[in-house]
Chains A and B, each alone.
Chain A
Amino acid sequence: NAGVTQTPKFRVLKTGQSMTLLCAQDMNHEYMYWYRQDPGMGLRLIHYSVGEGTTAKGEVPDGYNVSRLKKQNFLLGLESAAPSQTSVYFCASSYRLRSSTDTQYFGPGTRLTVL
């Protein structure tokens, strides 16, 4: 099992450019999440999905769009990148909520720099 994988690992964009980050999981998880991590800010939820074909906004959704066309994939899009979107992006996945556990498994991250 590869777990949660993210593509690409690094990317540099110019202001106004667009790009898509891909997250894939092979654990048959229902739920998937996109976070951003900034120094001193912890992890903040951008968008999440509770199943194939569904998406919902998290804490900091502005400037991002997502799609979950297949259960195993969750895409994060930046339509017009801004320097404020320079960050490390993490994807995570988890099983359907259970009564006792809710482990979110994280990918290795994508480091994005917007110039």
Chain B
Amino acid sequence: QQQVKQSPQSLIVQKGGISIINCAYENTAFDYFPWYQQFPGKGPALLIAIRPDVSEKKEGRFTISFNKSAKQFSLHIMDSQPGDSATYFCAARRSSGAGSYQLTFGKGTKLSVIP
């Protein structure tokens, strides 16, 4: 059972446009939601993360929007640049109970930003 569903699988955006990647989760015990960025041939790296006590978190051109009631969160990349071309993974984790050490990842979105 996939606990974190990510969409779309791939995304093509023009330079300067807005990239939007969506994730939905099932386990209401999740309380930490990071996004990871992975370039080809590299390991994933933390991009930005949010906890459910806030509805939005912004860091530069990257924003996470969080909807607790809908159990959804999304990554927005403003003014997308070719250097943003990478695979993005959303993830979720619970702070206590069974599986509290584990991050559950979505299947990833391959973003291509074209000039």
User: A residues within 8 Å of B by Cβ?
Assistant: 4, 31, 40-45, 48, 50, 56, 58-59, 90, 92, 97, 99-109
Say yes or no: is B67 at the interface (Cβ < 8 Å to chain A).
no
Could you tell me if A97 and B42 are in contact, using CB atoms closer than 8 angstroms?
no
Q: Which residues of B contact A101 (CB under 8 A)?
A: 49
Which chain A residue has the least Cβ–Cβ distance from B95? A97
Say yes or no: is B25 at the interface (Cβ < 8 Å to chain A).
no
Chain B nearest CB, measured from A4 CB (Å): 7
Q: Which residues of A contact B101 (CB under 8 A)?
A: 31, 48, 50, 56, 97
Interface 1/0 per residue, B42-69 and A, CB below 8 Å: 1111100101000000000000000000
A-B contact pairs, 25 of them (CB 8 A): A40-B107, A40-B108, A42-B6, A42-B89, A42-B106, A43-B44, A44-B105, A50-B101, A59-B102, A90-B43, A92-B43, A97-B95, A97-B100, A97-B101, A99-B95, A102-B32, A103-B34, A103-B49, A104-B46, A105-B46, A106-B44, A108-B42, A108-B43, A109-B41, A109-B43
Could you tell me if A43 and B105 are in contact, using CB atoms closer than 8 angstroms?
yes
Could you tell me if B44 and A90 are in contact, using CB atoms closer than 8 angstroms?
yes
Could you say which of B34, B43, B93, B108 contacts A4, with CB atoms under 8 Å apart? Answer: B43
Chain B nearest CB, measured from A7 CB (Å): 14
Q: Which residues of A contact B89 (CB under 8 A)?
A: 42-43
User: With A41-B107, A42-B107, A108-B43 in contact, do A102 and B93 touch (Cβ < 8 Å)?
Assistant: yes
Q: Which residues of B contact A59 (CB under 8 A)?
A: 102
Say yes or no: is B103 at the interface (Cβ < 8 Å to chain A).
yes
Say yes or no: is B9 at the interface (Cβ < 8 Å to chain A).
yes
Question: How many Å lie between the Cα of A13 and that of B10 in the bound state?
Answer: 32
Question: How many Å lie between the Cα of A102 and that of B100 in the bound state?
Answer: 11
Question: How many Å lie between the Cα of A43 and that of B103 in the bound state?
Answer: 9
Q: Which residues of B contact A99 (CB under 8 A)?
A: 95
Interface 1/0 per residue, B13-53 and A, CB below 8 Å: 00000000000000000001010100001111110010100
Q: Which residues of B contact A92 (CB under 8 A)?
A: 43
